[in-house]
């Protein structure tokens, strides 16, 4: 058990390095992570349940094991924070995409794809990043759920408004069922186990292993994205990469700023930064390849696919950055405590 706990600590300390190493290897050997996208079954509303869905469910379960009733009490004290988060998501990213497309003079098809990414809700990966960087997991899941529930209305409305009447449709029920299957249900089971067994030593020992499990799961999820979308990453042209980098990076900064402006604590500021910066680019890729107006402009699908890959990598990097800040602060505190007080 001690060896597993040490391995877990190593993985969580070097999350970025582990995930990027898997991403690089998968880029050159895509078949290595092809199994992540293997379809297991189709659920009652038509969602394809893949190996990736199962991995995400396991990661969410590990998150649930860390949640307590206190987390939800704190969230209940400021429910407005979730509304602020959802508003920030649907105001910052869509209009940021529109602004970047104008400043960089992006061709219509590329601008269309970037706007579509900006108008999508937050992705499940953002919950994982929030967990790994000491963010507020309950807040993160709340934001993802609310933005997903709003997406059947907000995404088509904003795309139509910002991309000159382009029309898309999103089926709300399958997306909501998917969130229940891969996020809410596994977290609820983990939370229930923590509530019932949280004081037992064996259970606490298992909890210490879970961050490592989450890192390995995240590496597999990113590997799966690279396996299916990685071919577009370096063949997409500089302008697409620059637009994605700016959109995503400024999303993190402005999201953090929104949290600071509204008086959120450090954990929530980190969470809203990641939730705003990381969009459900996988949904955007799917819409861009299945909607007639987008399918006729293949560059729009390419920028969505590049966003899908880059958001996974950058999210890992920013989670690693926040986690390293915590480690530095802990070391500084330890040094202070180690220095004897002089009279």
SS (H, E, C) the chain: CHHHHHHHHHHHHCHHHHHHHHHHHHHHCHHHHHHHHCEEEECCCCCEEEHHHHHHHHHHHHHHCCCCHHHHHHHHHCCHHHHHHHHHHHHHHHHHHHHHHHHCCCCHHHHHHHHHHHHCCECCHHHHHHHHCCCCHHHHHHHHHHHHHHHHHHHHHHHHHHCCCCCCCCCHHHHHHHHHHHHHHHHHHHHHHHHHHCCCHHHHHHHHHHHHHHHHHHHHHHHHHHHHHHHHCCCCCHHHHHHHHHHHHHHHHHHHHHHHHCCCCHHHHHHHHHHHHCECHHHHHHHHHHCHHHHCCHHHHHHHHHHHHHHHHHHHHHHHHHHHHHHHHHHHHHHHHHCCCCC
Distances (CA, A) of 112 to 240, 266, 298, 302: 12, 34, 10, 11
Buried b (16+ CB within 10 A) or exposed e, 274-306: bbbbbbbbbbbbbbbeebeebeebebbbbbbbb
pLDDT at 102: 93
pLDDT at 289: 72
**Segment 218-231, tens digit of pLDDT:** 888 888 888 887 77
pLDDT at 118: 93
pLDDT averaged per 10 residues in sequence order, the chain, 343 residues:
84 82 89 89 83 85 84 80 91 95 89 90 81 84 84 87 74 76 86 90 87 85 82 76 94 95 92 91 77 71 85 88 85 71 54
Distance CA(89)–CA(33), nearest Å, equals 31
**Segment 5-25, tens digit of pLDDT:** 888 888 877 778 888 888 889
Max Cα-Cα span within the chain: 77
**Segment 53-86, tens digit of pLDDT:** 888 888 888 888 888 888 878 778 778 888 899 9
For the question of whether the overall pTM of this predicted structure is more than 0.95, the answer is no
């Amino acid at each position: 058990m001690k060896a597993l706990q040490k391995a877990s600590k190593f993985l969580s300390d070097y999350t970025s390095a582990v995930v990027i190493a898997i991403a690089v290897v998968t880029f050159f050997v895509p078949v290595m992570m092809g199994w992540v996208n293997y379809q297991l079954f189709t659920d009652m509303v038509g969602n394809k349940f893949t190996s990736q869905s199962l991995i995400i469910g396991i990661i969410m379960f590990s998150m649930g094991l860390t949640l307590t009733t206190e987390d939800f009490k704190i969230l209940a004290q400021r429910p407005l924070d979730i509304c602020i988060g959802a508003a920030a998501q649907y105001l910052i990213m869509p209009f940021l995409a529109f602004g970047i497309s104008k400043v960089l003079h992006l061709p219509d098809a590329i601008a269309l794809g970037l706007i579509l990414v900006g108008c999508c809700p937050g992705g499940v990966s953002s919950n994982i990043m929030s967990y790994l960087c000491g963010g507020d997991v309950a807040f993160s899941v709340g934001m993802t759920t609310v933005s997903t529930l709003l997406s059947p209305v907000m995404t088509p409305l904003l795309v139509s408004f910002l991309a000159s009447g382009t029309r898309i449709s999103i089926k709300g029920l399958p997306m909501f069922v998917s969130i229940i299957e891969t996020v809410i249900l596994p977290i609820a089971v983990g939370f229930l186990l923590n509530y019932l067994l949280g004081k037992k030593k064996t259970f606490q020992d298992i909890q210490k292993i879970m961050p490592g499990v989450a890192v390995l799961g995240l590496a597999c999820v990113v590997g799966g994205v690279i396996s299916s979308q990685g071919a577009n990453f370096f063949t997409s042209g500089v302008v697409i990469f620059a637009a994605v980098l700016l959109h995503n990076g400024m999303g993190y900064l402005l999201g953090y700023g929104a949290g600071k402006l509204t008086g959120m604590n450090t954990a929530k500021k980190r969470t809203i930064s990641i939730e705003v910066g990381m969009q459900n680019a996988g949904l955007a890729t799917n819409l861009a390849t299945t909607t007639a107006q987008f399918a006729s402009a293949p560059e729009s699908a390419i920028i969505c696919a590049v966003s899908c890959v880059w958001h996974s990598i950058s999210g890992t990097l920013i989670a690693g950055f926040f986690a390293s800040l915590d480690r530095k602060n802990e070391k500084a505190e330890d040094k202070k405590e180690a220095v004897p007080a002089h009279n």
